[in-house]
Structure 1
Amino acid sequence: MKRTTGYLGVLFLCGVSQLAIAQDETPAGDPTDIIVTAQRRSQSLLDVPLAISALGGDTLQNKGISNSASLATAVPNLQVSSPYGNTQPNFSLRGISVANEYNSNQASPVGVYIDDVYIAARTSHGMGLFDLDRVEVLRGPQGTLFGRNTTGGAINFITRAPKLSGSNGTIEAGYGNFDTIKAQGAIETTLVEDELGIRIAANYEKGDGQLRNVAPGGRDANSVDTLQGRFSLRVRPGNGPLDIKIRAYAGRDRGTQAGIHGLTGPGTPGQGFFEVNENRIGDSRTDAWGVAANVALELSPQVTLTSITSYDGGKQNLQQAADGSPLDVLDINWRSNFRQFSEEARLNYEGDSLKLVGGLFYGWDRTITDNRFNIGSMLGAGVNGGFFQHYRQSRRSQAVFLQGDYDLTDRLVLTLGARYTWDKAHYRDGYAYLFAGDVGGPDLPLASTVPCAGAPGTCAYDPAARYEIDGSNKALTGRAALSYTFDGGTLVYASYSRGYRSGAFNGGGYTSSVGITYIDPERVNAYEAGIKGRFLDKRLTLSAAGFYYDYSNQQVQDTRPGPVSFLVNAPKSEVYGGEVEASFRAFPGFTINMSGGYLHATYKELTLQGTDLSGNDLPFAPRWTGTAGFDWTIFDTGSDSLTFSPTVNYFSRQYFSPFNAVNAAGTGQVNAELQQKGYAKVNAALAWAHGPIQIRGWINNAFNRKVYSYGLDLRGAGFPYNFLVPSTPRTYGVTARFSF
Structure 2
Amino acid sequence: MEFGFARHMFVGALMCGAAAPALAQEANASGAATAASRADGGGIPDIVVTAQRRSQSLLSVPLAISALSDETLATKGISNSAALATAVPNLQVSSPYGSTQPNFSLRGISVANEFNANQASPVGVYIDDVYIAARTSHGMGLFDLDRVEVLRGPQGTLFGRNTTGGAINFITKGPKLKGTEGYLEAGYGNFDTFKVQGAVETTMVEDELGIRIAGNYEKGDGQFRNVAPGGRDPGGVDTWQGRASLRIRPGNGPLDIKIRAYAGQNRGTEAGIHGLEPFRTGLGFFEVNESRVGENQTDAWGVAANISLELSDAVTLTSITSYDGGKQNLQQSSDGAPIDVLNINWRSTFRQFSEEARLNYESDKLKLVGGVFYGWDRIVTDNSFYIGSVLAPGVDGGFFQHYRQTRRSYAAFLQGDYNLTDKLILTLGARYTADRGRYDDGYAYLFARSVTDPQTPIATTVPCAGAPGSCAYDPAAIFNLKGRNNALTGRVALSYTFDNGLLAYASYNRGYRSGAFNGGSYTSSSGINYVDPERVNAYELGLKGRALNNRMTFSAAGFYYDYTNQQVQDLRAGPVNILVNAPKAEVYGGEVEASLRIISALTLNASAGYLHARYKELALQGVNLAGNDLPFAPHWTAQAGIDWKIIDAGSDTVTFSPTINYFSRQYFSPFNSENAPGTGQINSELQQAGYAKVNASLIWVHDNLQLRGWINNAFNRKVYAYGLDLRGAGFPYNFLVPSTPRTYGVTARVSF
Q: TM-score range by the shorter chain?
A: over 0.9
Structure 1 range deviating more: 535-544 or 425-434: 535-544
> Which residue is 1:190 aligned to?
203
**Residue 224 of structure 2 is aligned to residue 220 of structure 1:** no
**Residue 49 of structure 2 is aligned to residue 21 of structure 1:** no
**Residue 41 of structure 2 is aligned to residue 37 of structure 1:** no
> Which residue is 2:222 aligned to?
209
Question: Does the 8 Å contact 1:605/1:614 carry over to 2?
Answer: yes
**Residue 743 of structure 2 is aligned to residue 731 of structure 1:** yes
Question: Does the 8 Å contact 2:17/2:554 carry over to 1?
Answer: no
Q: How far off its partner does 1:564 sit?
A: 1.4
Q: How far off its partner does 1:13 sit?
A: 11
> Which residue is 1:160 aligned to?
173
Structure 1 range deviating more: 162-171 or 267-276: 267-276
- Residue type of the partner of 2:35? A
TM-score normalised by length of structure 1: 0.97
CA distance in 2, matches of 1:145, 1:615: 33
Cα deviation digits, residues 200-221 of structure 1 (max 9, x gap): 0000000000011111111100
Aligned-partner SS, 1:383: coil
> Which residue is 2:494 aligned to?
482
Question: Does the 8 Å contact 2:280/2:288 carry over to 1?
Answer: no
CA distance in 2, matches of 1:13, 1:95: 23
Cα deviation digits, residues 201-244 of structure 1 (max 9, x gap): 00000000001111111110000000100000000000000000
Question: Does the 8 Å contact 1:311/1:342 carry over to 2?
Answer: yes
Aligned-partner SS, 1:327: coil
Q: How far off its partner does 1:536 sit?
A: 1.1
- Residue type of the partner of 1:669? Q
- Residue type of the partner of 2:549? D
CA 297–656 in structure 1, closer or farther in 2 if over 3 Å, else same: same
The equivalent position to 1:464 in structure 2, one of 451, 467, 476, is 476
**Residue 182 of structure 2 is aligned to residue 169 of structure 1:** yes
Question: Does the 8 Å contact 1:76/1:626 carry over to 2?
Answer: yes
CA 338–582 in structure 1, closer or farther in 2 if over 3 Å, else same: same
> Which residue is 1:7 aligned to?
none
Aligned-partner SS, 1:681: strand
Question: Does the 8 Å contact 1:542/1:580 carry over to 2?
Answer: yes
Cα deviation digits, residues 110-132 of structure 1 (max 9, x gap): 00000000000000000000000
**Residue 675 of structure 2 is aligned to residue 690 of structure 1:** no
> Which residue is 1:700 aligned to?
712
CA distance in 2, matches of 1:245, 1:720: 54
- Residue type of the partner of 1:422? A
Please show how residues 333-732 of structure 1 align to structure 2 within 5 Å. 333-732=345-744
The equivalent position to 1:151 in structure 2, one of 164, 169, 186, is 164
CA 659–19 in structure 1, closer or farther in 2 if over 3 Å, else same: farther
> Which residue is 2:313 aligned to?
301
CA 195–17 in structure 1, closer or farther in 2 if over 3 Å, else same: closer
Cα deviation digits, residues 490-528 of structure 1 (max 9, x gap): 100000000000000000010000010000000000000
Aligned-partner SS, 1:21: helix
Aligned-partner SS, 1:269: coil
Aligned-residue RMSD, C-alpha: 1.4
> Which residue is 1:68 aligned to?
81
Q: How far off its partner does 1:540 sit?
A: 1.1
Question: Does the 8 Å contact 1:16/1:492 carry over to 2?
Answer: no
Q: How far off its partner does 1:546 sit?
A: 0.2
CA distance in 2, matches of 1:638, 1:434: 71
> Which residue is 1:279 aligned to?
291
The equivalent position to 1:331 in structure 2, one of 343, 349, 355, is 343
CA 130–491 in structure 1, closer or farther in 2 if over 3 Å, else same: same
Cα deviation digits, residues 254-276 of structure 1 (max 9, x gap): 000011101038x9322110011
- Residue type of the partner of 2:33? T
Structure 1 range deviating more: 269-278 or 238-247: 269-278
Give the count of matched residue pairs: 730
Structure 1 range deviating more: 25-34 or 494-503: 25-34
Question: Does the 8 Å contact 2:160/2:356 carry over to 1?
Answer: no
- Residue type of the partner of 1:355? K
Aligned-partner SS, 2:390: strand
- Residue type of the partner of 1:192? V
CA 496–279 in structure 1, closer or farther in 2 if over 3 Å, else same: same
> Which residue is 1:4 aligned to?
none
Give unpaired runs (5+ residues) of structure 1.
1-9
Q: How far off its partner does 1:279 sit?
A: 0.8
- Residue type of the partner of 1:682? V
CA distance in 2, matches of 1:494, 1:16: 18
Q: How far off its partner does 1:337 sit?
A: 0.3
Cα deviation digits, residues 388-442 of structure 1 (max 9, x gap): 0000000000000000000000000000000000000000000000000011211
Q: How far off its partner does 1:12 sit?
A: 14
Question: Does the 8 Å contact 1:177/1:731 carry over to 2?
Answer: yes
Q: How far off its partner does 1:58 sit?
A: 1.4
Question: Does the 8 Å contact 2:181/2:201 carry over to 1?
Answer: yes
Percent identity, aligned pairs only? Answer: 76
CA 734–150 in structure 1, closer or farther in 2 if over 3 Å, else same: same
Question: Does the 8 Å contact 2:228/2:289 carry over to 1?
Answer: yes
Aligned-partner SS, 1:378: coil
Q: How far off its partner does 1:616 sit?
A: 0.1
CA 403–11 in structure 1, closer or farther in 2 if over 3 Å, else same: farther
- Residue type of the partner of 2:133? A
CA distance in 1, matches of 2:326, 2:300: 4
Structure 1 range deviating more: 15-24 or 333-342: 15-24
Q: How far off its partner does 1:563 sit?
A: 3.0
CA distance in 2, matches of 1:355, 1:396: 30
Segments of 4+ moved more than 4 angstroms: 10-20
Q: How far off its partner does 1:638 sit?
A: 1.1
Question: Does the 8 Å contact 1:356/1:402 carry over to 2?
Answer: yes
CA distance in 2, matches of 1:11, 1:63: 25
CA distance in 2, matches of 1:348, 1:27: 25
Question: Does the 8 Å contact 1:12/1:531 carry over to 2?
Answer: no
Question: Does the 8 Å contact 1:560/1:717 carry over to 2?
Answer: no
CA distance in 1, matches of 2:280, 2:239: 32
- Residue type of the partner of 1:429? D
CA 471–73 in structure 1, closer or farther in 2 if over 3 Å, else same: same
Question: Does the 8 Å contact 1:264/1:277 carry over to 2?
Answer: no
Give unpaired runs (5+ residues) of structure 2.
1-13
Question: Does the 8 Å contact 2:131/2:161 carry over to 1?
Answer: no
Question: Does the 8 Å contact 1:395/1:426 carry over to 2?
Answer: yes
> Which residue is 2:253 aligned to?
240
Structure 1 range deviating more: 268-277 or 220-229: 268-277
Aligned-partner SS, 2:79: coil
CA 675–547 in structure 1, closer or farther in 2 if over 3 Å, else same: same
Q: How far off its partner does 1:18 sit?
A: 5.6
**Residue 103 of structure 2 is aligned to residue 93 of structure 1:** no
Q: How far off its partner does 1:382 sit?
A: 1.9
- Residue type of the partner of 2:668? F
CA distance in 2, matches of 1:42, 1:629: 28
CA distance in 1, matches of 2:616, 2:585: 5
Aligned-partner SS, 2:670: coil
CA distance in 1, matches of 2:160, 2:535: 13
Question: Does the 8 Å contact 2:17/2:555 carry over to 1?
Answer: no
Structure 1 range deviating more: 669-678 or 14-23: 14-23
Aligned-partner SS, 1:69: helix
- Residue type of the partner of 2:301? W
Aligned-partner SS, 2:176: coil
> Which residue is 2:3 aligned to?
none
Q: How far off its partner does 1:14 sit?
A: 5.9
> Which residue is 1:81 aligned to?
94
Cα deviation digits, residues 270-305 of structure 1 (max 9, x gap): 211001111100011000000000000000000000
- Residue type of the partner of 1:216? P
Q: How far off its partner does 1:588 sit?
A: 1.3
Cα deviation digits, residues 165-194 of structure 1 (max 9, x gap): 101001000000000000000000000000
